[in-house]
Structure 1
């Protein structure tokens, strides 16, 4: 039976880190939930609004090589605690000082940097406190909890929005304020395990690039994040547009932010079941099938905006299930493929490339929206969503072409 170091059982380790993940993410979706309000209040165009969404992931990218890479060198708990402080300061700063594009970008970047030091370091805490092989199921539950954190953030924003957007950001600062001390106190010190390989330079990812199995999962994760974070960043605004076309008043439970929250709530189940399917049928076939299906549906969902909201919701729910279907399988595959002594570097590059795509996707979505006719055009929304599925379809086509070439060589 798999045992875990310290007093916590394996189940308790997974549960505690999942709770901490939800708490650390209370500021994750605050800006996307408030995007229509802040876009109007600050006079932003769609490209600028998308840039603020994307800069969250730029902050994540800038912090990832340092905060995640350092888990190969120092106690991961200390990194986690520092990162929750960054997230807290970012939300507080947004509430108290944000007045437009530049100031909002600064504080969004801080919140993103905070996530960089909690998400993958939290995964490392999970894996390093098991003796023996880490069950992919534990990894799947942890990565799936990202969807619960997103849902909680959206619901918090929707509930407090009537009191003013500043209060939403103030409340969002409380989650990471609790998560950091919770993790630091609950886990014993975790100095990096000694390995035969020298640690090398902090930003030296060359050994990871040479690990072809690991790089396959990393590139797949980048395509996944392009689709996922572009979708998440603009989902409340899309629902607001669709509700406006039918002059529907959803109220709190069925307003734009709430509909986006319910969509995100089903993500964890898709991620977990996708990982189970990958374990039974093989990761590569499952990942390729899911990516192809999500890419095709991405080309269709944006054009559904004029339909009754229940149909729009169902189509978007199916699309989100497909997008999330390969999430845990990709990350569990990377953990399994990472070389001993380079797990931190592998997770850092995995996260860096994934969230790098997450930075570009909301901006690209906003640019397509502006160029194709603006946020009041159904065609523009349809093309913007199609831009999210493009990389998944390209990745599937490239992998299938590689397989055909390999078969010819044999």
Structure 2
């Protein structure tokens, strides 16, 4: 156990770029104590170990876990960026996936993963990718019109989706898949518009369909930049056709006169709308984006940030996060499959708040919604 804790302390400390002295200060121990812990000379007591976990931004279990188990059996991952230098994030992802999978197993519900259809380049495959997007829409029962809430639609067929605030610049999402336990998508919601979150979800579904044979056992990216660029182009093309179907767009072009009206109608970002219009040969993306930015600056006197959505923008209040996960927690709790303490942890509530919510649900006889 000394060796396991020693390795984990060192890895998580370096993941935060902390010196031994800095970690010692955060944990209220001496630098020599940290040195001894990391060299497996002494073992921290339970109180110190818990303090170290908090200081390192991980759970106590993460410090006790063998490094060889930092990947879930049967699950393979697809991440746009390498996270081997961010072990705290890798541990967080594994915990989220472990918890979600355990909940599904506890309540005995079936899992889901989209059918895999390998495709590694966009050129020459545009029509095929668009057709697969249409087929996936039919799997969701959406028809060809605007999608009201893609999060809800994919959760209803069993896709594991979690939206979390991840404070990693440039990170939008990742996906994982297991033949036995289904597919999982993590979407970053930290200061990211709903429109961009929806695109990330659609994009990762594209990767699950077209690139699942390339997923890895951990969160480390492999392959050349050219290969990654080709995979991204395929996933982007799929996402654009999933969010805005060809048939509906052709009809809409007879009704709406500009990009803002189109984006509001289809409930997507203006950049997503420009992408689809360029695919149809209606405009050149680079020229259109410059025109929009110029008009925005003329009207506001400010530059249009890349992360900002042009109004009307979708409201986060209309897209409650993690509804399927939350329902599974309450179901597992009501069936006695998880404790109140565990349920409160999963829902990020205090035990008192959890008990109050259960009490209110019983008073109004709405246990069924949980």
Question: Structure 2 length as normaliser, TM-score?
Answer: 0.26
Structure ranking higher on relative contact order (CA contacts 8 Å, 6+ apart): 1
Of Structure 1 and Structure 2, the greater helix share is in 1
Question: Structure 1 length as normaliser, TM-score?
Answer: 0.24
